[in-house]
Amino acid sequence: MSEDKKERIIIPDESGEEHLFDVLFTFDVDEKDASYIVVTPTEQQQGDNEDVEVFAFRYEETGDEPEDFSLFPIESDEEWEVVEEMLNTYADGELDQ
């Protein structure tokens, strides 16, 4: 995906300051009726040997527009295992995003 075609979202922190993130990918887990989004800070430099900071959230659509959604922290180990599996698949280049 080229840099200018990346989907971006704004996520406020606890103090209300807004931060811009690039969406790496989203995925659904039908068995749990849950959707997840994986993002990385836009301002983060992605060098060849540099670790990339990645954040994941469960999300729910709240309206008809694509930007109408709410984010929720992932709290259970079971959910984290699913996200880590998808991250590994993404890192191996096996996801079509």
Q: What is the pLDDT of residues 15-68, one digit of tens each?
A: 999 999 999 999 999 888 899 999 999 987 555 556 778 999 999 988 777 678
Radius of gyration, alpha carbons of the chain? 14
- CA atoms 44, 48, 53, 59: torsion sign: positive
Cα angle at 51 between 49 and 56, to 5 degrees? 150
Element at 25 (helix H, strand E): strand 18-29
Domains of the chain, residue spans: 3-91
Residue in the structure block whose two tokens are 């959604």: 69
Q: In what order do the strands lie in the sheet with 69-72?
A: 8-12, 18-29, 34-41, 55-61, 69-72
Inform me whether the pLDDT recorded for 79 exceeds 80. yes
Which of 1-5, 17-21, 61-65, 80-84 has the least mean pLDDT?
Answer: 1-5
Residue 77, pLDDT score:
93
Tell which wins on pLDDT, 2 or 9. Answer: 9
**1 has a pLDDT exceeding 60:** no
